[in-house]
Structure 1
Amino acid sequence: MRGRRVDLRIQARTCSKTNLDAFSQVFSTIPVLIDEASTTLYFPQVADGGTYRTNFILLNPGTSPATARLEFYDDDGNPLGLPIGGLVRTSHEVQLSSRGAARFLTDGTSTSVKVGWVKVTCPTAIGGSSIFQTLNGNVITSEAGVASSPYLSRFTVYVETAGSAWSGLAICNPGSSAVDVTLKLRDSSGAQRDTFILRLPARGHVARFFTQWFGDYPNFEGTLEVVSSTPVSGVALRYDNPGLTVFATLPVVAIQ
């Protein structure tokens, strides 16, 4: 079905909470909004430049119009300038109609890859997702969608290096003070294999393959547990081809 739009229909008593749209050979999932609406949303990873750009989708389930404000930060917690609509912006406002939605994306024109994280605030509760894309010219070669991430002191996520797979984790610290974050690597049986402690500055960000923290773990499958002295937000990315051009996002799982 290359080059044609595909209509995917599911007939069943129940279905998963995922909206799937496919076009050609590139597609992404967009989570539906159940009870995750909030006046503050966190996106622990944004990328623009090189071959990357990032889409943002915001939903207003309320009955009144609202204005959402997005603020972009770099690894050190400083404002991050991203190209949006031909202008470099460290923040961006989006108007949302009642029961409405809005989508915008970074231009993908940064001369070098810019990475960081995004904080979204709105007077009324909203929901949101982001879609990371890689491009070859104007052609989308890969994309992956993920909902905004929760604000947690302890969470875990699946990681692996089996075959051509490489797993990474992005973490942001939305707080106004530096935070110590302990990373615990566990194998598939739950046994702890290694520990690493990193310090994130106020409003800081880090994104790494887990092997950049722990060294070489060939053919590994397990989890990366994150324990923080104050809440942080995280999302995992999983690459699965030798050129690191095909990837997916994995949400974190809270640990009580």
Structure 2
Amino acid sequence: MRVARLLHVVYCTLAFVLSVAGQCPPDQVVLNGASLGNGVAVGLNTSGGRTDWLSNDGASLIMQYPSLQSWGSVFFSFGAAGSVGSRQSRDLSGCGNLVLEVSGDPGSVDIGVQDWLQRPDGSESKVTIQVSSQWQTVTIPLSRFARTDFTHVYVPAEVVFGGPQPQTVRVRSIKYTAGTPPSGRTGVLAHIAAGGGQWSTVVTLFNPSASPATVNVAFRGDDGAALGAVPLTVTQHGAAQTVTGGTVSAVLSPSSSIFIAIGDPSVQSVVGWADVQSSSLVNGFAVFRSLSASPSEGTVTLQAGSSAVILPYDNTGGFVTGVALANLSTSSATVTATAWDDSGNSLDSQPIALAGNGHTSFALSNQVPATAGKRGIVQFQSSGGVSGLGLRFSPFGTFTSVPVIAQ
């Protein structure tokens, strides 16, 4: 097959070829042997404008990077090359890994990925791999490409060369794989608050194990719906990117962390909770901060949730106990709040209605009036599962968080 034929645009005529959000396409092949995947085009260039160094042997692509260049790149794109913002793209956010089969002159090359808004100026996220004379399979977790928006991938793979020395690299397979999907709920963060010029929240999650963990974090509001319009700034491997959609998916390498800042302090305030699912154990917490004249911080840890939780409260001496609750069921639920004073006397029992996956926050004395001016404990119980957090507001304008005890 001649180079000109390789450079022929082989792509679907659809304006946008999108996969189902949150799922990795079952056969997302970029290159198989010398054949491009469906809808994939290939291009190349160097600092000197050379485009004559790509060929194939019927079983692989052969990249013969020429000498006396400062850089060179062979890039695969979804559809023809286009200007920023008008490029075709695919949603690969449900995938976990980029897998390549390579061989060639011993040395190193960079593997890059670009989303549809990244400029072709070399600033995209890249991962350096080692090349040997023997064929090898290289698996790169997508979390390594921290600045890439994988909901809109334009260049699913590029091979980037550097320096004045020539180098030959053969590639016979490039594909995306799902990795290990989240197997279930790892825990929940019962309260988040951001925006309105009053609140900010940062979620920290980390992988304590020796194996990669695929993580999915879904942020929900009081009504149980996804916080889809809220910007989320995700920082991983030292690089930050802002996404929307109410969900963050990532692969955490062993002993690594991810940080998710919620919302924009200058826009309308949002409150809710976060549901964390992962393929293996992850730990974490969220810190929410008041941006008032008397700034304070509260911390909510990642909790497993249970059918009932108990919270100590104190509504004496000008202190006020606040409560945040999250319904862990997809169906609407009634949470029963039962309060006792510090002598063990039963005070009152009140129902609290929550939407499916819903959330609420309130001053305890407003929801259970019998606790006003008293201290003791309050139990929140729901057959569908509940998680919660207490907030202790002082008469000095500050607050701190109070953890619940699962029963």
Of 250, 258, 272, the match for 1:102: 258
Identity %: 28
How far off is 1:119 after superposition? 0.4
Aligned pairs (5 A) from 1:131-142? 131-136=287-292, 141-142=295-296
How far off is 1:251 after superposition?
1.3
Q: Relative to structure 1, is the Cα distance of residues 79 and 163 closer, same or farther in structure 2, using a 3 angstrom cutoff?
A: same
Deviation digits for residues 118-174 of structure 1 (CA, Å, limit 9, x no counterpart)? 10111111111111112259xx92112231123111221111111221111111112
Q: 1:156 to 1:92 in 2, by over 3 A?
A: same
Cα distance in structure 2, aligned partners of 1:250 and 1:133: 14
Cα gap change, 1:39 to 1:177, in 2 (>3 Å): closer
Cα deviation 1:15-62 (Å, max 9, x = unaligned): xxxxxxxxxxxxxxxxxxxxxxx8522011111112101111111011
CA contact (8 A) 2:350 2:368 kept: yes
Q: Which one has more relative contact order, counting CA pairs under 8 Å at least 6 apart?
A: 1
Cα separation, partners in 2 of 1:108 and 1:240, compared to 1, 3 Å = farther
In the TM superposition, residue 231 of structure 1 has moved relative to its aligned partner by 1.4
Matched with 1:44 is: 190
**Larger of the two Rg values belongs to structure:** 2
Tell me, in whole angstroms, the C-alpha distance in 2 between the residues paired with 1:229 and 1:84.
32
Match of 2:324 in 1: 170
Structure 1 regions of 5+ residues with no counterpart? 1-37
What residue in structure 2 maps to residue 250 of structure 1?
A: 402
Counterparts in 2 of 1:67 and 1:186: CA distance versus 1, 3 Å: same
Residues 211-239 of structure 1 show CA distances to partners (whole Å, capped at 9, x for unaligned) of 12123644311111112122111111111
Matched, 1:76 2:223: yes
Letter in 1 for 2:337: L
Tell me, what secondary structure is at the counterpart of 1:57?
strand
Following the alignment from structure 1 to structure 2, what is the Cα–Cα distance between the partners of residues 66 and 117? 22
1:180, 1:107 → 2: CA distance? 29
Shift of 1:98: 0.4
Q: Are 1:93 and 2:238 matched, yes or no?
A: no
Partner of residue 204, structure 1: 358
CA RMSD in angstroms, aligned pairs only: 2.1
Matches within 5 A, 1:101-250: 101-109=257-265, 111-136=267-292, 141-215=295-369, 217-243=371-397, 246-250=398-402
Q: How many Å separate the matches in 1 of 2:283 and 2:218?
A: 16
**Structure 1 partner of 2:200:** 53
Matched AA of 2:399 = F
Provide the TM-score with structure 1 as the length reference: 0.77
Question: Is the 1:41–1:128 Cα contact (8 Å) retained in structure 2?
Answer: no
8 Å CA contact 1:71, 1:92 repeated in 2: yes
Query: The residue matched to 2:191 in structure 1 has which SS?
Result: strand
Inter-partner Cα distance in structure 1 for 2:386 and 2:210: 31
| 1:87-143 CA-partner distances (Å, limit 9, x unpaired) | 543112244220222223124425222101110111111111111112259xx9211
Q: 1:189 to 1:136 in 2, by over 3 A?
A: closer
Task: Could you list the structure 1 runs, at least 4 aligned residues long, displaced by more than 4 angstroms after superposition.
Answer: none
Q: Which residue of 2 aligns with 1:62?
A: 209
Comparing 65-74 with 100-109, greater Cα deviation is found at 100-109
Amino acid at match of 2:245: R
Number of residues paired by the alignment?
214
Name the aligned partner's letter for residue 289 of structure 2: Q
Report the Cα distance in structure 1 between the residues aligned to 2:280 and 2:372, rounded to whole angstroms: 47
- TM-score by length of structure 2 reads 0.49
- Say whether the 8 Å CA contact 2:309–2:404 is kept in structure 1: yes
1:141 is paired with a residue of what secondary structure?
coil
Task: Kindly indicate which of the two structures has a greater share of residues assigned to strand.
Answer: 1
Structure 1 contact 170–235 (Cα < 8 Å) conserved: yes
Q: Quick one: structure 1 residues 89 and 59, their matched pair in 2 at CA, closer, same or farther if it must change by over 3 Å?
A: same
Hey, what does 1:9 align to over in structure 2? Answer: none
